[in-house]
Amino acid sequence: MYELIWANKRKSWILFFAMGIILTGLGMGLGYMLSPNNLHGGIMNGFFIAMAIWGVLSLFSFSSGSSVLLNSSGAHEITKEDDPTLYNVVEEVATAAGTPMPRIYIIDTEALNAFATGTKPENSIIAVTAGLREKLNRNELQAVIAHETGHIYNRDILYLTFAGIMLGAIVILSEVVLRASFFSAISGRSSDNDKKDSGAGAIIQLLVILLAIFAPILTQIFYFSLSRKREYLADATAVNFTRDPNSLADALEKIAQSATPMPQANKITAPMYIATPHLKAGDSDELYATHPPIQKRIAILRALAQGTDYKTYQRVYNEVVGKGNLFPQSVLQNDEKQ
């Protein structure tokens, strides 16, 4: 299974590299717009502004991100004495996965949902809603915990956190660029000798504005695409741990029937949850969907009667979704040998 983790790392770093290029381009474009007559100095200043925004968001997210997410959702930590059954379920799954025992939180809401957070397995946290705890039986609860543990095992939380930071930085910087272009236009900076207003300068400024408009859109598409793919991977990892795809399918069906939203979640934190926290979980293949269609996830799980290995999941995934490879060939080949 370590091959899967390394494959996830490679794919994630390719995405982060692309997002980094966009962020750098926005920063350099901002610097050019602020100092059109000092090309080198302006571009360097813009680059440092971009890195400063990214650095502040990174520092905040990695130092306080989990606390903010837990506090905003109204979660509180519980012990084994508070809920022995839930504690034992989490402990069993952590043992099966070979990961450290995560801390457990309860979110006081009737909504049916759960999420995992923490930048590494050693400081991981699993939070479940009171509604989920009440409505699910032990096997279904174990399946949901296994799904969240799958995110921990696959290092999804770290990658989604990093991608969320990049997305936030790009959104902020894009807004700054657009405001700078607006104020530059109304300030009456016009001179025949002004490099910004020369033919080449005008083209560069237009390209920067277009980048600022489309960068947040493209980055969100990349971010949500990463989130959707990792939900399938977490489902596959969960059934690999529990060998019980039907219980996860049963749990997802109950979650899909829940009409209670979680308004605490936003576009950045929504991918952390097992199902869409804002709306009733339905079928959506839209580019801006944070999760894959829940009915497709259920259909894949129901079709895993022949086996819960990654190779079987990949085959059923292709039949239901019809595209893409979830797992590297090395993982599928290892399944064949076992």
Give the catalytic positions in this structure.
Answer: 148
Structure tokens belonging to residue 59: 């520092």
Query: What's the burial of 118, exposed, middle or buried (CB within 10 Å: 0-12/13-18/19+)?
Result: buried
Tokens representing 15?
């995405």
Residue 179, C-beta contacts closer than 8 angstroms, at least 6 positions apart: none
Instruction: Note the residue count of the chain.
Output: 338
Q: How many CB atoms neighbour CB 74 within 10 A?
A: 15
Which candidate, 255, 234, 246, places its Cα nearest to that of 303? 246
Q: If you write DSSP's letter for every residue of 146-184 in order, what string do you get?
A: HHHHHHHHTTHHHHHHHHHHHHHHHHHHHHHHHHHHHHH
What's phi and psi for 266, nearest 5 deg?
A: -125, -175
Q: Which residues of 153-182 are buried (b: 16+ CB within 10 A; e: fewer)?
A: bbbbbbbbbbbbbbbbbbbbbbebbeebbe
Beta strands in 25-131 (DSSP E): 75-78, 103-107, 114-117, 125-129
